[in-house]
Every structure is written in structure tokens, then in C-alpha cells.
A and B are shown apart, each in its own frame.
Chain A
Amino acid sequence: MQIEYIGGFQVFLGVLARFWPVWLAMAIVLVASFNFRKHLGLYGQLFDSGVGIAGVSICFFWLFTAIFAAEVAPFDPLAQIPVMKDALPGAIEPASGLTYLFGGDKLARDVFSRMVHGSQIVLIIAPAATMFALMVGITLGLPAGYYGGRIDSVLSFLANLVLAFPVILLFYLLVTPGIMDTPIPYALAGLFFLFPIIFFSVLFYTRFKDRPDRIYLLLGITLVFGGWIYAGLVFNADPFGIVSIEPNQLNIFVAVVFASSPGVFRIVRGLTMDIKTRDYVAAAQTRGETPWYIMLWEILPNARGPLIVDACLRIGYTTILLGTLGYFGLGLAPESPDWGTAIKDASRLLRSFIHPALPPTIALMSFVLGLNLLADALREQSMKD
């Protein structure tokens, strides 16, 4: 059967048209943010510089692409239409009349749809894993920096131990199919996912322990909500069946959190050691506040600037790590549409076809670039204060 093609310019217009929900959402959010930027604090200040606007726009673009993936992508990312095998960009699929805008890959799947759906995987795992790593790093880094002494030595030694591991070796050891038969990923998940619950419980307890009206409510919400998610993620035993995670995704998640939390730990520890010499900490100590109150309500809010910048960079770095995992075929399912797996599949066939390789590489690069630009703009803004 003869496949018909559309021209390069039409492909370009077609891509622009497919992204219409993204453009619409971006236009609304960006115009609104730009008009109210004076009232939006740090986020609003981003719109003062070109780098900041570029970073915010790229991040929003991928965020909305992930949200509207089902509307943007014309095809199912896993559907194989045999006639479209290795089709060049712009090939029209005969049955539906829709176009394979970026062509088809070696398994006759639409490259464009896979790229769009791949953003969902990246934008769920990378920020979530970064948040967990932040929780772990903050909860351990604050006491290490504040108390110093033996607790600092032990925790720093452990952090350096993990940091001395080359990331790739860690992944090869922690993310293998065999390890799913052992309790190790679940034990690590059980440990890491405990930290957010501990963090928020201590956070609320230290602040509101003399106000029974608030404390019971907040602690109750933390424990019930946290316990619910904890049960769903670690034991796969969510009574309502809403929260669940595939075992291999849990494994990736744990490995990524494990690899990036020592970095957060080191930053938080350094910031804490710096901030604890300030006068307001001394004032709080004189008032007789408990150490954990000082750490969580005096030191942490004042360390937020560098931490936000680091979180942005770290989401980007986590995206790169996820891509590395996909590139080595670790953890993610072989047909998964995530960008790393797509790059791996395409790079093996680079001699014959180049079109399946470019969309996922450019997607990954642009998303990380957006995050890095955002971090750079945030750093500039926080230096001005």
C-alpha cells in the first residue's frame, strides 16, 4: 500500500495545532501571572528577566503537555500499526486519516504520541522523587547541622558512602529484575516514605503543641492521609484502591530517592551550620524553644531560597537519571514510552533512521534546560534581596 506524506511545513503546522490545549492553558496562566506578578512574590519576580520567562514557559509547556497528553497525542503510545513501520515524518495513516507527525519507530508506533505520553512518566516520577529526597535530606540534615558531634559524623559518613557510589553502579545493583523478589526495595521504600510523615508530624507538633484545637486536627490529617498513601505505596494495600504503584516503578522511585537524598542532606547540613549562628536562632534559644522548633520554624524557612533553587536543579537532574535508567533498560517496561527508553531504542538504529531519535532527545533536553533556566533566574532573584 502506498503511504501518502504531507510536507515539512504542514508537519510544523500540524504539531502546533495538536498542542492547542497546551497553548491555551499556557496563555491563560502566563498572561495572568504576568499581570499579577507584583503580588506573586518570588514566582512573580521571575517575570522580570528574560531567562526567568523562558524557564517558566518551558516548564509550563511540559507540565500542560503531561496533563493534556490524552488530548494532544493523536494515537495510543503503545498501538502498533504495521503499515507505518519506520514511516518518515508526515506519513498519513490510511485507516484513520491522521498523520504520524514525527514518523513511526521500528515497532510502527507514533513517535509524536510516544513523546507526549513520555512526558507524563517523567513529570510524575521526577518531581515526586525530588520531593521525597528533599524530605529525607531535610529531616536528616537539620539535626546533623544543628547538633553536630557524633550524630553529624555518623550521618555524614553514611551520606558520603552513598555519594562515593557511581550512580550507574548503584542503579545496576538496585534496579534489577531479581531484586524485586527480595524485600530490599520494599524495606527501602518503607524507610524513605516514612520521612514525610515524620517531617510533617514534627513540624505541626512543635508549632501547635500548646493549641489543642489545631494540633489534633493537623496531626490527624497528617497521620491518616500519610498512612493512607504509605499503605498504598509500600504495601500496595490501599483500602480504597486509589493509591497504587507498579512494583518496577516503586523500585525506580526508591533508587532515585536513594541516589539524590545525600546531596540534599549535604546542602541542608551546610545551610543549617551557617544559619544556626544567627541572632534570631540565639533569640529563640533564649526564649527556651525546643531544638526541633528552632530547626523547623527558625532555620528551615530561612534556608528556603537555596533549597528552592536546588530543588529545581534536582528535578532536572532526576529527569536525567530517569533517562539514564531508561537508556540502560533498567526498571522501566521495555515498551514504556518514557524518553530514556525511546532514546535507547532509537540510538541503536541511528544508521538507518534518525527521525525516531530526535523528538525524545529534544524533549528531554528542553525540559531540563527549562528547569535549569528557572533555577538560574531564581538564584539571581534571591541574590538581589
Chain B
Amino acid sequence: MLSFILRRLGVIGLTMLCLTLVVFFLINLDPNLKKLAISQTEMRATSEQLESWLQRNGYRQNFFVRYGQWLGVMPKQPNIDPATGQAVPRFSFCNEPSVPQFSGVLQGDFGCSTKFKTTVASKLFPALGATGILMFWVMVTMVPIALLIGIFAGMREGSRTDRTLSVASIATTATPEYVSGVIFTVIFASWLGWFNGSAASATSQGITFYNFTLPVMTMAIYGIGYIARMTRASMVEVMTQQYIRTARLKGLSFGNVVVKHALRNALIAPFTVIMLQFPWLLTGVVIVETMFRYQGFGFTLVEAAGNNDIDLLLGCSLVSVFVVLVTQLISDVGYAYLNPRIRVQ
């Protein structure tokens, strides 16, 4: 088991290396650098001035050297002002070393956000915390509801309850966040006036039932259908097993059979599905946070991508790829742990 986890961690490291290289390449395409130079210099700069700005700030170094610097395996060179011979930081809002030193992601230096005019770390981690709160409430509402729907539907396959709940869960999987968000806002904010159609106040004044219900509801509803269908399939399979029949024949009540004998085995498969929902939730987070103006990770990602904020976008992609890969690992390990029939080599 330990060697399995170690091997998987190795693959994760390799994957992250490849992915950040791809992201680094795509962000540093020439049109993107030009856009950054334009936004960082005065608007009327000539193309020579833009070029010299890029040159001066080290954006024209060899691609792999720059990637190595970002990663922290190549020393970062200080920015020497040719007029004075003094080291000046690239951006006035970030400290930079005045002597060449290793300072990259591996050393914990995520770089400098050009959009928010601060270090990436001081922007990214609070945003992640805010998204963590959102995710927590989404999980707390989504998982129990989805499991209940799945269990009730799968308990008696083909019954009326099953048909109704199945169609309902198909309907929720057909409703992406930007659709349900609009519909919920229309119903609950514009029409009934129960909730706030914006979560902007959640960042400044704290989370309340009034401003946080709609984002959580919008995100949860898309995932519910999928998890419920998986739970239902698993439940249906378990209910046809011999040991369930044995339990029924020895006179246990139906409710007792479901709770004591079926549930434990039926919940193994949904566990994997729930863990693998995280990458989906990541896209949902971006949509919901943009729609409800909640200042979390997704909001930061959109701002970074829209303004070509190189270091911040790299930080965001590193975090999201990390989340995806680690949840995959947890789901594999957890599955092997929960299901004794599976043995990993």
C-alpha cells in the first residue's frame, strides 16, 4: 500500500511539472506578454518601449530559464537599473532580492500579482480560504441530500418513487450552474425577495443565511443529480445480492435490511464519485463566484486570466491541479480501504 501511494505521488509530481510547463508556455505566448506590457506601461507606449519594458523586466530570457526561476531551480537575477547600477524590484509593490538567489515555488515564493498589486501568496491563500468555506457548505448540503435521494430511489427499483427521483436527478444534471443560478436568482431574489442575489457582502460583512444560500444552492444542485444516480445504481446492485435476500428471509423488516445490511455496501461507490466531484466543483466555483461576486478562488482565477496576470494565474493553476490530483489519490486509496475485495499491488 505504501509503495502504491509513493508511486502515485511520483506520478502526481510528474503531472504537475508537465501541466505547469504547459500553462507557463501558454501564458507566456507573445500576444499575452504584449498585453501585459501594454497594461503595465502607459497606454500610448510605442512598440519599442513595450519591447524594452519586456526586455528590462526579464520577460525575454530563455523560456526554460524563466520556468526554472519560477519553479525555484534556477537563481532569480535581480533587476539592475542601467543608470544607477542599483537593484530595483520589477514591481514597486513586491519585494525582490537584490542578489541572485533561488526563489521560486519550491521555496514558497509564488511571485507577484500585477493585477492586485501585491504578492500572489497574500492574494491567493485568503481567496482559497473563502472558497473553502463555500465548498464546505456545498458539501454539507449536497452529499446528504444526494445520498438520501439515491438510497430512496434505489431501494425499490422501478417503483414510482424511483422513477420520479430518477427523472428529477437527470433534470438537475442537465442544469449547469449558470442556468440554475439565473433561475434561482429570478425566483428567490427578484420575485420572492427571500435571499440576496449577490454574495459580495459575504466577503466584507461575514456569511449570513441571506447572502450565502443562493451560491450554495446553485452549486449543490448540479452535483446532486450525478451523485444521486451513482448511489442509486450502487443501491440497486446491492439490493439484488443474495445476502439481502437472506436477511429478508430470516424475517428482518425492510427498513432494517436497508439500514443495517445494504447501506454500508451501497455507499462505497458513491464515495469515489463524491471525491471525483471536486474537479467539477472547481469549474462550478468559478462560475458561481463570478455570478454572485464572491471573492474566492474562482473570482481570483477569472481576474487573473482576464488581466493576464502571469504569476497569479500560474499559482491558481498549480492549486487547482493539486486539488484535482490529490482528490483522485484519496478516492483511490479510500476505495481500496473501504472495499476489502480490492487489493492494490
Where the two chains meet, the residues of A that have a C-beta atom closer than 8 Å to any C-beta of B are: 51, 157, 160-161, 163-169, 172-174, 176-179, 181-182, 184, 316, 320, 323-324, 327-328, 340, 343-344, 346-347, 350-351, 354, 357-358, 361, 364-365, 368-369, 371-373, 376
Closest chain B residue to A371, Cβ basis: B174
A51 to B174, CA, bound (A): 15
Chain B nearest CB: distance from A131 CB in Å? Answer: 21
| Contact yes or no, B170 A369, CB < 8 A | yes
| Contact yes or no, A373 B170, CB < 8 A | yes
Where the two chains meet, the residues of B that have a C-beta atom closer than 8 Å to any C-beta of A are: 11, 15, 18-19, 23, 26-27, 29-32, 34-35, 166-167, 170-171, 173-176, 178-179, 181-183, 185-186, 189-191, 197, 279, 282-283, 286-287, 290-291, 298, 301-302, 305, 313, 316-317, 320-321, 324-325, 328
Pairs across A and B, CB under 8 Å, 22 listed: A157-B15, A160-B15, A164-B279, A172-B305, A172-B313, A173-B26, A178-B29, A179-B26, A179-B29, A181-B30, A182-B29, A184-B26, A316-B174, A320-B176, A323-B176, A324-B176, A350-B189, A361-B182, A364-B176, A364-B179, A372-B170, A376-B166
Please indicate the chain A residues that have their CB under 8 angstroms from the CB of B182 in the complex.
Answer: 343, 346-347, 350, 357-358, 361
Please indicate the chain A residues that have their CB under 8 angstroms from the CB of B19 in the complex.
Answer: 161, 164-165
| Contact yes or no, B178 A324, CB < 8 A | yes
Please indicate the chain A residues that have their CB under 8 angstroms from the CB of B286 in the complex.
Answer: 166, 168
State the total of A-B contacts with C-beta under 8 angstroms.
128
Q: Looking at the complex, which one of B30, B179, B282, B328 makes contact with A361 (CB distance below 8 Å)?
A: B179
Known: A161-B15, A347-B291, A365-B179. 20 other contacts (CB 8 A): A157-B15, A164-B324, A168-B287, A169-B316, A173-B305, A182-B29, A184-B26, A316-B174, A323-B178, A323-B179, A324-B178, A327-B287, A350-B182, A350-B185, A350-B189, A350-B190, A350-B197, A364-B176, A365-B175, A369-B170
Q: Looking at the complex, which one of A160, A176, A184, A328 makes contact with B302 (CB distance below 8 Å)?
A: A328
Chain A nearest CB: distance from B306 CB in Å? Answer: 8
Please indicate the chain A residues that have their CB under 8 angstroms from the CB of B191 in the complex.
Answer: 354
B178, B302, B328 — which one has the most chain A CB atoms within 10 A of its CB?
B178
Q: Looking at the complex, which one of A160, A344, A354 makes contact with B186 (CB distance below 8 Å)?
A: A354
* Prevailing SS type, chain B contact patch: helix
Please indicate the chain B residues that have their CB under 8 angstroms from the CB of A169 in the complex.
Answer: 23, 301, 305, 316-317, 320
A51 to B18, CA, bound (A): 44
| Contact yes or no, B283 A324, CB < 8 A | yes
B15, B286, B291 — which one has the most chain A CB atoms within 10 A of its CB?
B286
Please indicate the chain A residues that have their CB under 8 angstroms from the CB of B317 in the complex.
Answer: 166, 169
| Contact yes or no, B31 A179, CB < 8 A | yes
Q: Contacts A182-B30, A369-B174, A376-B170; is A351 near B301 (CB within 8 Å)?
A: no
A365 to B221, CA, bound (A): 13
| Contact yes or no, A178 B320, CB < 8 A | no
Please indicate the chain B residues that have their CB under 8 angstroms from the CB of A369 in the complex.
Answer: 170-171, 174
A168 to B186, CA, bound (A): 25
Please indicate the chain B residues that have their CB under 8 angstroms from the CB of A368 in the complex.
Answer: 174-176
B174, B301, B320 — which one has the most chain A CB atoms within 10 A of its CB?
B174
A178 to B38, CA, bound (A): 13
